[in-house]
Amino acid sequence: MTVQIIGKIREFFSSELWGMDLGELSRKKVFAVKTLRLFYVAVRDISEGQLNLRAMSLVYTSLLSLVPLLAVSFSVLKAFGVHNQMEPLLLNVLAPLGPKGAEITDKVIGFVENMKVGVLGSIGLALLIYTVIELLRKIESAINSIWKIKRPRSFARRFSDYMSVILIGPVLIFSAIGLTATVMNTAVVRSILEIEPFGTAFYLAGKLMPYVLVCAAFTAIYVFVPSIKVRFRSALVGGVFAGVMWESLGWAFASFIVTSTKYTAVYSGFAILILFMIWLYINWLILLIGAKVSFYHQYPQFLQVKKEMLLLSNRLRERLAFIIMFLIGSNFHWGRPPWTLNSLIERLGLPIEPVQEVLGELERKSLLLESGAEPPGYLPARDIDVIKLSDVLHAVRTTDEESYELEERFLSMPEVDGIMSGIDDAVGSALGDMTLKALVEKGEP
């Protein structure tokens, strides 16, 4: 009986769930079906192990970067007089560890206070900042891999963005916390809270506030970290999902800590470090799962039972290359702003991966180039009057051929060679000497 139930559940998730026509269902059922599909795909991605490997890599980097990151933030916050608020925030993050969280917090804050940034010297300070930047770079790399982004930010933009996060971010966060606390302690606000239902509403809001703040933090990460424009609604969906998961797993992990006395007996003093690393791993895994949710919400084309269903055939890649060249050439010819990667994705309604691949192929064949703007726009590499459509087709059909050390003679057979030559001649005859400019001028100005 149990085997039959498991078989039916497996059949439902692998087949029946994906065969439902959403157009015939009510809004509630559509929401339920999409949620179950998202749950299935998320579990599949976790079981593949890539998210686990990324999370474990971030745990290792965190252990190396935690004290330097807090030291740099502590130095900046101290200049603004709000450094005393760092310890309560760290205590809140490590709250699921129970008394061990307070012990770890005391040790970390002790390390930070003993680290004198001023006496490190120029090389020591540079290494300190490098360690912090490396953590942020790995976070960006992990989230970019989820969004299938192959080209990260430029070095200049990455450095400016990271330094803004390190230097300005903590000041804004802790200043907002301090300002809120000051406002809430004023006599006017206290008198208002004594009036019902404002007092009850404030009490309930206080209970929900941890969830709201955590969800807002995850949402901000999903908006600003990926090297692509993320819709706020998609980032919010991932942020709420990750925030609720973080609070819920924090409660479950705290319950686990209460019953973990046997681990202390086995591992002795190492038990604190092991539990701390486990909690770090859970945190990073939640962050990456939330990024996956944001990705699937923005690109529902990937929300399929099989990943291979969205790979473009050779014919569609050729069509996509012509469309991209037409759009970029048209904007260049008629004096409109150049297309960016984000605007092309929104215009085509495709995920980032195939668009990014075709753009890379056209760049490698010297048909396109990037502007120096941020984000970069795409321009024709040559005058569109000399770019032949046959060159565009050739760029896509022969992609990566030069990277394979396989001579054509090994794939030579007289009967087949004649067919391939005929195909090439037919394609060349169909396109002739038609240029990109001729194609662009067929469209509207």
pLDDT in tens, 255-295: 777 666 665 555 556 667 777 888 889 889 999 999 998 98
Distance CA 294, CA 393 (A): 34
pLDDT, averaged per 10 consecutive residues of the chain (445 residues), comes to 69 69 74 79 78 86 76 67 65 73 74 62 69 82 84 72 68 56 54 61 64 84 85 90 86 73 60 80 90 86 59 82 91 89 83 83 88 81 87 80 54 72 76 83 71
pLDDT recorded at residue 109:
72
**Alpha-carbon distances, residue 186 vs 183, 191, 397 (angstroms):** 5, 9, 70
Distance CA 94, CA 96 (A): 6
pLDDT recorded at residue 261:
61
pLDDT digit string, tens, across residues 318-331: 889 889 999 999 98
| Token duo for residue 343 | 């605007």
**Alpha-carbon distances, residue 181 vs 85, 175, 184, 203 (angstroms):** 11, 10, 5, 15
pLDDT recorded at residue 122:
65
Specify whether the CB–CB gap between 285 and 55 falls below 8 A. yes
pLDDT recorded at residue 309:
46
pLDDT recorded at residue 397:
80
Largest CA distance in the chain: 94
pLDDT recorded at residue 202:
58
Distance CA 210, CA 215 (A): 8
pLDDT recorded at residue 429:
76
pLDDT recorded at residue 324:
92
Whether the bond between 170 and the residue before it is cis, its omega within 30 degrees of 0, is no
* pTM tops 0.85, yes or no: no
Q: Which domains does the chain have, with CATH numbers?
A: 2-47 (no CATH), 56-302 (no CATH), 311-440 (1.10.10.10)
pLDDT digit string, tens, across residues 108-123: 777 666 666 555 556 6
For 273, the 3-state DSSP assignment is helix
State residue 191 phi and psi, 5-degree precision. -70, -35
**Alpha-carbon distances, residue 234 vs 230, 304, 314 (angstroms):** 7, 18, 31
| Token duo for residue 127 | 């290494």
Distance CA 323, CA 165 (A): 38
Please report how many Cα atoms fall inside a 13 Å half-sphere around the Cα of residue 50, on the Cβ side. Answer: 14
Closest to 218 in 3D by CA, of 198, 243, 250: 243
Which residue reads 């702003």 in tokens? 337
Distance CA 105, CA 88 (A): 9
Closest to 311 in 3D by CA, of 324, 296, 321, 301: 301
| Token duo for residue 143 | 């989230």
